[in-house]
Structure 1
Amino acid sequence: MTVGGAVGEAIDRVIVVVPARDEEELLPRCLAALTVAVGEVARVAGEAPPVIEVVVVLDRCSDGTAEVAADWPAFASISTDGGGVGLARRAGARHLLPTLTHFSTATWIATTDADSAVPPNWLTAQLAFARNSVDLVLGTVVPDDRLSDGGRELWDAAHRLVEGHPHVHGANLGVRADRYLQAGEFALVDGNEDVRLVSALRRLGVSEIRTELIPVLTSGRLAGRAPAGFAGYLRDQAAGARVGVLPDAADVSL
């Protein structure tokens, strides 16, 4: 869609939800990038920036992820034992928005992943879209150098990282809080929770934009934490290439 037309309600609060399962190695990269993105909002907004809160959801972690999160006191952390990324994302949103009155048109929910690094303009761009009456922002992802050269060639061949792209990634998603609640929140599943949410939002007829302006760097590893996550997609892509059938890139779930 093209952004324009009526100006939407100003966002006065932003919450960022980061599910993490055994991510002690990559979580520092994630939180450092978020620190820059949060600071950019303050720089651009001037004297009246929105309140921004970040929560790391420690989902059945058995390594040092909790200790890493504790080294970033500006960000909250909570623990869950549900063992599912959908539950983790939902728990993070509910932790920062504990009552229905907080799920308002003036609140924005952004989600990424602990193995990912957002760009500096990640939040400022989403807030600009929100000011232009957008309810849902879907960004792109780019694998890091953990993905082999051959795997990257396959990735590039299967993805159109352009404005209006067809992809859905929980690592790069933003939604107005009231619309998120109306759509039923993230499903309590361990994969495709992002695709399910977007499908429900589209049934509501929300205003969305699919943009390549805020690409998120994510892990290119082939052994991931969620069974139906991005690493599984990359494995399927490699396997499909061997038999001449690539997985559907439009339904990638991080």
Structure 2
Amino acid sequence: MSGRGAIDRIIVVVPARNEEELLPRCLSALAVAVGEVGGVAGQAPPVIDVVVVLDRCSDGTADVASEWPIFASIQTNGGAVGVARRAGVRHLVPTSDRFTSTTWIATTDADSAVPPNWLTVQLAFARNSIDLVLGTVVPDEGLSDGGRERWDAQHRLVEGHTYVHGANLGVRADRYFHAGEFARVDGHEDVRLVSALRGLRVSEIRTELIPVVTSGRLAGRTPEGFAGYLRDQAAEATS
């Protein structure tokens, strides 16, 4: 395949801060998703590289990552998820001559588990000239029954949804860099990137075909992350 639909490389970036308990689930799921790409018939599979970005970890997260030698890991001290995502991309695509339209960037989080078709679906969209894929997330059993009811009542996980989640995002590398990369902030770096990409009028799809399971905890690692959103929902319900 040639032209705008060609993809010969996928890079996956996983920021992690003190996620020794949930990182095994994340990496197990990623290993399955990577394996699924190799099983797609009809076209040569792209090269896939995964990096876990250990950002100011003070627990055993690095030890967990080391148990998965098929995935790379790096350490950062930014203390911000945007810094970690940005550093992960730069680790795998370090120089400007490799900022090509044939590289696909996928991002998730260390407290999340991607579905088996996570990369195959993104690859199919990319090979059909899509530049940006936005998926959905679903809280795991860490969310209380009441929290689950509120979540289900307020979210419609459908094709054409309105959500943006760094835990379930894919973008063509050249578009990513033209949009200015992930901002060095500790929250909403995903929303900022998508806003910049839309300013470039990229081709975009918002899909519910690849829901990512993410932590339902109310105490998260970033002040403006998903846990904070769930916590605000809970507070509104009791006010």
TM-score range (shorter-chain normalised) is: over 0.9
1:31 corresponds to 2:55: no
Task: Give the corresponding residue for 1:168.
Answer: 164
Task: Give the corresponding residue for 1:123.
Answer: 119
Task: Give the corresponding residue for 2:227.
Answer: 231
SS at match of 2:48: strand
**Of 141, 144, 148, which residue of structure 2 is paired with 1:148?**
144
Gaps of 5+ in 1: 1-6, 244-254
Task: Give the corresponding residue for 1:13.
Answer: 9
Task: Give the corresponding residue for 2:214.
Answer: 218
SS at match of 2:124: helix
Task: Give the corresponding residue for 1:247.
Answer: none
Distance 2:32 2:4 in 1: 26
Task: Give the corresponding residue for 1:75.
Answer: 71
Structure 1 stretches of at least 4 aligned residues deviating more than 3 Å after TM superposition: none
1:138 corresponds to 2:104: no
**Of 29, 46, 50, which residue of structure 1 is paired with 2:46?**
50
**Of 155, 160, 182, which residue of structure 2 is paired with 1:186?**
182
- Cα deviation per residue 1:27-71 (whole Å; 9 max; x = unaligned)? 000000000000000011467210000000000000000000000
- Cα deviation per residue 1:73-114 (whole Å; 9 max; x = unaligned)? 000000000100000000000000001121110000000000
- The normalised TM-score by structure 1 is 0.92
1:64 corresponds to 2:63: no
1:87 corresponds to 2:73: no
Cα distance change on mapping 1:19 and 1:215 into 2, 3 Å? same
Task: Give the corresponding residue for 2:94.
Answer: 98
RMSD after superposition: 1.0
1:114 corresponds to 2:73: no
- Cα deviation per residue 1:173-226 (whole Å; 9 max; x = unaligned)? 000000000000000000000000000000000000000000000000001001
- Cα deviation per residue 1:203-251 (whole Å; 9 max; x = unaligned)? 00000000000000000000100111000000001111223xxxxxxxx
Distance 2:52 2:193 in 1: 20
Cα distance change on mapping 1:46 and 1:37 into 2, 3 Å? farther
1:206 corresponds to 2:202: yes
Task: Give the corresponding residue for 1:250.
Answer: none
SS at match of 2:133: strand
Distance 1:206 1:47 in 2: 25
Distance 1:59 1:126 in 2: 26
SS at match of 2:39: helix
| Amino acid of the structure 1 residue aligned with 2:45 | P
SS at match of 2:83: helix
SS at match of 1:29: helix
SS at match of 1:171: helix
> 1:9 Cα shift?
2.5
| Amino acid of the structure 2 residue aligned with 1:178 | D
Aligned residues: 237
- The normalised TM-score by structure 2 is 0.97
Distance 1:236 1:8 in 2: 41
| Amino acid of the structure 1 residue aligned with 2:186 | D
